[in-house]
Structure 1
Amino acid sequence: MIVIEGCAVATVDAAGTEHADGHIVVAGDRIVAVGAGPYTGDESVTRVDGRGCLATPGLVNTHHHLYQWATRGYAQQEILFGWLRELYPIWARIDEGTVHAAASAGLAQLALSGCTTSTDHHYVFPRGGGDPLAAEIDAAAAVGLRFHPCRGSMDLSEKDGGLPPDSVVEDTDAALTATKDAIDRFHDPSPGAMVRVAVAPCSPFSVTPRLMREAAELARSEGVRLHTHLAETVEEESYCREVHGCTPVEYAEDLGWLGENVWLAHAVHLDAPAIARLGATGTGVAHCPSSNGRLGAGIAPVRDLLDARVPVGLGVDGAASQEAGELGAELRQALYLARLRGGPAALSARESLALGTIGGARCLGRADELGSLEPGKLADIALWHLGGLGHAGIEDPVAALVLGPAAPLRLLLVGGRAVVQDGSLSTVDVTRVATDLARAARRLR
């Protein structure tokens, strides 16, 4: 067993339980006890000195495009549509080697920022590019993160009224067949699973209605979750109104894309009826504050979504629109953007931490296993060091984590396994990962 003790503990459970000086006991891949004060049980345990630290659930990243780590820094002053038009021809040249290098780098950076579970929305499958989905799953296994790859797809090219060029779209039937194959090969529905697959056509402006509808039917028949981009920009809103005669949320609902097994990326441009429908159907939202700011997309109505009982998690989004690639910093970004939109009471530090933990677990359908520190849940734990200069004098440890500078990790456990120790990855060689990534990025350039 492992005992973390002497630390502040923010459990993020339903009651908001916190301990100024507490302990967490881990046996195998599960938490078996959480409480105040020192651990007084068996002396044969492995003890972790948590003094000066805050323990929280590991962070959950609900939206990403890992392949984009190889194309950071492009289209620096473009809105989404212009950014995509510049990058699609570059992405048309990726292959499984590029994806493995990019995913290794992106997942390593996520781990170093406190993330224990990440999704990835991969929707670019160039002909002759090998098996990029398998490549990123291999990368996640090496880094040691719990992984939810989303098998994406695009079948609506520029010549047919969509945004992407022909070089990056798939045939509709081929995309559906490949998605079913990804579920069969990689999805693990068992408790404590390290890999679960979701079905994820890309967006209303890159996917036909047929693919959207049949993908939803496939996901529900296979018992997996659904993910897509929706309501990210005003241009998307205009596209949906012009082409489909309705708002993005109305379009999604018509195609069977609202429900408790669905979470949507961005959801920035929502009117009151749309927010009400997401809440009534239990549809989740991946809030990506830094990416939305980078592309000038707008500020998602997070307070209104939470008040409507919408499950809301945090997402880094692709590294080509969020070059830092860190999830821990999104806690602060989410709080700031919510307050810019709704004032200083719009989101608290603890609500922001909940977005990054239990909120993300709800989006992924894993709130029974992840997102809070409770006996019986998986031992996905972040132990943040708050004893340095950057956090000195902030009495409230949760405020220190959310409002202060990036906190180094004393320890990051995924299923009880140490992935980060004393600020360094324990699983992969960061220097080699960086070298491989730089080489892949040069090839694409």
Structure 2
Amino acid sequence: MTVRIDNATIVCHRHEDPVVLEDHSILIEGGFVQDVFPSAQIRNASDASVIRPGEVIDGSKHIIIPGLVNTHHHLYQSLTRGLRSVQDAPLFGWLAALYQKWKHLDFEAVKLASQISIAELLLSGCTTTSDHFYVFPRGSDVRIEAVLEAAESLGIRIHACRGSMSVGQSKGGLPPDECVQDERDILADCGRVLEQFHDPRPGSMRRIDLAPCSPFSVSEGLSRDTAALARQHGALLHTHAAETLDEERYCREKFGMRPIEWLDKLDWLGTDVYLAHCVHLSGADIERLAATRTGIAHCPCSNMRLGSGIPQIRRLLAAGARVGLGVDGSSSNDGNHLLAEARQALLLARVAGGADAMTVAQAFTLPTLGSAAVLNRPELGNIAPGCAADLALFRRDDLALAGAVEQDPLGALLLCHVGRADCVLIHGRTVVKDGRVATLDTGGLVERFNRLVCEKYR
């Protein structure tokens, strides 16, 4: 069906720079944007799809932006967000405590938690998310299908990362042995998931990435074998890297080098790799990441929440690195608001580098074109002919935007506290309507989820 949105304020990219288009229309057909044009041209149009579309949406009260792209998450972690015992813990202590909760994960818990996180993402204007799921406890029925089913039920576009941990505490790793898997089993399941679910076509709703968890939970052999398997299938690789000084010390003691040097040694840098965090980087690390076009998922709220540090985003961008945005896991943020994350990226950059360290335009680019580039998705992150029809509509008359929207619609969205999107389309399908998730009863979901958390994860 053809859909036309009229008389909207559109914020999109032209030649990589954000522009604001007033009183414009968007023509959507087959899940993709067919055209973007001044609404005044409709009266002179001759194309039947423009004159008589299947549906017309009045956009006069909306600011429309590209659907936001989240490059790093652990959807299941909404199970343990706000947990009192880890509210003030750094990463390693935080993980050590939470593994004791996560070793009880099962399929239904992961699916419910993922639905909760995805619903929040949708309401923030996020239309594509990467999810790094890496905890497969011994004896559990957990499979990556729990995440895939959650994504399908809500209609979000997903990069489901089949994560892995193989080095437990008995072998010098951080996770308990109950949470790690045999490497042969890991690789076999990675192959199965790629064969069964990976869809590399432009506009696909579901892709599989392979994602060993971290330097302190996997072996060099598994990292190499995983990279080879992913490259056989044309899939992306993802992991955590250079997140904390504890991780850096671990790598120096165990491998005799820094985290980025270790990844480089394993052939784990390149255009098919994206790394979460990259907080503690040397000048040589920055040059290497930029030269190899390795993607970086910047997670400012998580880095602040855990006290991990402030990434050098200004230097990375200046060097030509590909940088996107991620909300990270719901236990280390502890929310799923990607537009608010862009605001946080802006503010954190300015704390570190001054008022000119990041512009509003740069902050907007991080979860749009930046994140799309990190996931190798050129059809995402913009509103232009040929792009997927992933759109987030925010009301111009939102109280939080009053006054600011008349000054600068883009600045209003990035600098003010916008609560939620009014409407969200993914591949041309409405998934949020009137500020509510349209694809699932979130009231019933929250009730079931809170009951589960009380019973098993407090």
1:18 alignment partner, SS class: strand
Q: Which residue of 1 aligns with 2:229?
A: 218
Once residues 88 and 71 of structure 1 are traced to their aligned partners in structure 2, the CA distance between those partners, rounded to angstroms, is 10
Q: Which moved more, 1:5-14 or 1:199-208?
A: 5-14
Q: Which runs of 5+ in 2 are unaligned?
A: none
Q: Deviations over 1:94-118 (max 9, x none)?
A: 0001001000101011001100001
Q: How far did 1:18 drift?
A: 2.9
Q: How far did 1:324 drift?
A: 1.7
1:48 aligns with 2:62: no
Q: Which residue of 1 aligns with 2:321?
A: 310
Are residues 111 and 243 of structure 1, via their aligned partners in 2, closer, same or farther at CA, if it must alter by over 3 Å?
Answer: same
1:375 aligns with 2:385: yes
Once residues 297 and 365 of structure 1 are traced to their aligned partners in structure 2, the CA distance between those partners, rounded to angstroms, is 27
1:387 aligns with 2:397: yes
State how 1:10-409 maps to structure 2 within 5 Å: 10-16=11-17, 17-38=19-40, 40=42, 41=45, 42-45=50-53, 46-74=55-83, 75-367=86-378, 369-394=379-404, 395-409=407-421
Are residues 146 and 52 of structure 1, via their aligned partners in 2, closer, same or farther at CA, if it must alter by over 3 Å?
Answer: same
Q: Aligned partner of 1:28: which letter?
A: G
1:337 alignment partner, SS class: helix
TM norm structure 1: 0.97
TM norm structure 2: 0.95
Once residues 281 and 82 of structure 1 are traced to their aligned partners in structure 2, the CA distance between those partners, rounded to angstroms, is 33
Q: How far did 1:246 drift?
A: 0.7
Q: Which residue of 2 aligns with 1:9?
A: 10
Contact 1:59/1:117, CA 8 A, preserved across alignment: yes
Q: Aligned partner of 1:20: which letter?
A: E
2:14 alignment partner, SS class: coil
Once the two structures are aligned, what percentage of the paired residues are identical? 44
Q: Which residue of 2 aligns with 1:427?
A: 439
Q: Aligned partner of 1:377: which letter?
A: C
Q: How far did 1:13 drift?
A: 3.5
Q: Aligned partner of 2:450: which letter?
A: A
Q: Aligned partner of 1:343: which letter?
A: G
Q: Root-mean-square deviation (CA), in Å? A: 1.2
Q: Which runs of 5+ in 1 are unaligned?
A: none
Q: Deviations over 1:367-389 (max 9, x none)?
A: 2x111111011100111113222
Q: How far did 1:275 drift?
A: 0.5
Once residues 340 and 423 of structure 1 are traced to their aligned partners in structure 2, the CA distance between those partners, rounded to angstroms, is 33
Contact 2:5/2:56, CA 8 A, preserved across alignment: yes
Q: Aligned partner of 1:444: which letter?
A: Y
Q: How far did 1:15 drift?
A: 4.5
Q: Which moved more, 1:93-102 or 1:28-37?
A: 28-37
**Deviation >6 Å, runs of 4+:** none
Contact 2:6/2:58, CA 8 A, preserved across alignment: yes
Q: Aligned partner of 1:4: which letter?
A: I
Q: How far did 1:176 drift?
A: 1.2
Are residues 383 and 420 of structure 1, via their aligned partners in 2, closer, same or farther at CA, if it must alter by over 3 Å?
Answer: same
Once residues 51 and 400 of structure 2 are traced to their aligned partners in structure 1, the CA distance between those partners, rounded to angstroms, is 35
